[in-house]
Amino acid sequence: MTTNTINFFPEYFSNIAACVNGVDLDQLASAIKFLRDSRKRGGKVIVVGNGGSAAMASHISVDLTKVAGLRAINFNEADLLTCLANDYGYEHWVEKALEYYADPIDLVVLISSSGTSSNIVNGARQARQMKLPLITFSGFDSDNVLRKLGDLNFWAESHAYNIVEMTHHIWLLSLVDKLAADNSDSS
């Protein structure tokens, strides 16, 4: 192995660990409260992202439902996404999906590595307009648009897509696992 290869991995994992550990623990506690409040209201959690973040949204929504006992959905159906993008423009499909599917008792979780994806930002604005509780996950620039729109805004301090996405995934799964642990403690 080359020295370059051997040195790459420790630095890469160190960067991920720094991002993961950079989370505000009070924000995680607040996110748990948001999720519990949604359950108490009988609402569902709507999780949306693009690309790798869309795959994460699918994973998290399934685990919130199955593992944490909290109803959750995502908008990753090709027919829904392409219909709304075709009729309203790609930058508006998330806001239209929220308009059609979100109930006043729901919680919205939006994920964008850059925090600048127009469809996600417009979805955040729609959630605000509908007065839905909103949790955002972003990275890259600390002053990105998405980070300014949520009730809770998680930010991964990196400009590397995979590091930001893995950080978001770990934070989101920690919320699922905390809810699951709470459920097993109360039974």
Q: Which percentage of the chain shows pLDDT scores above 90? A: 94
Average pLDDT, the chain: 96
Average pLDDT over residues 97-121: 98
pLDDT given for residue 1 in this prediction: 65
Which residue's structure tokens are 């109360």? 186
- For helices 118-129 and 93-101, what crossing angle results, to 10°? 30
pLDDT given for residue 72 in this prediction: 98
The amino acid sitting at 67 is V
Q: State the Cα–Cα distance between residues 86 and 5, nearest whole angstrom.
A: 44
Instruction: Read off the DSSP letter of residue 147.
Output: G
- Per-residue b or e along 114-136, where b marks 16 or more CB atoms closer than 10 Å to that residue's CB: bbebebbbbbbbbbeebebbbbb
Number of CB atoms found within 10 A of residue 186's CB: 6
Average pLDDT over residues 122-131: 98
The amino acid sitting at 157 is E
Average pLDDT over residues 27-35: 98
Closest CA to 48 of 96, 16, 83, 86: 96
pLDDT given for residue 185 in this prediction: 79
pLDDT given for residue 6 in this prediction: 85
Which residue's structure tokens are 């919130």? 64
Going from N- to C-terminal start, the domains of the chain cover 3-185
Q: Which tens digit of pLDDT belongs to each residue from 33-53? A: 999 999 999 999 999 999 999
| Banded pLDDT at 187 (limits 50, 70, 90) | low
pLDDT given for residue 2 in this prediction: 72
For residue 66, pLDDT over 90 is answered with yes
For residue 109, pLDDT over 70 is answered with yes
pLDDT given for residue 171 in this prediction: 98
For residue 81, pLDDT over 70 is answered with yes
For residue 76, pLDDT over 70 is answered with yes
**3-185, CATH topology level:** Rossmann fold (3.40.50)
The answer for residues whose C-beta is within 8 angstroms of residue 146's C-beta and 6 or more apart is 110, 112, 115, 116, 117, 120, 121, 124, 136, 138, 153
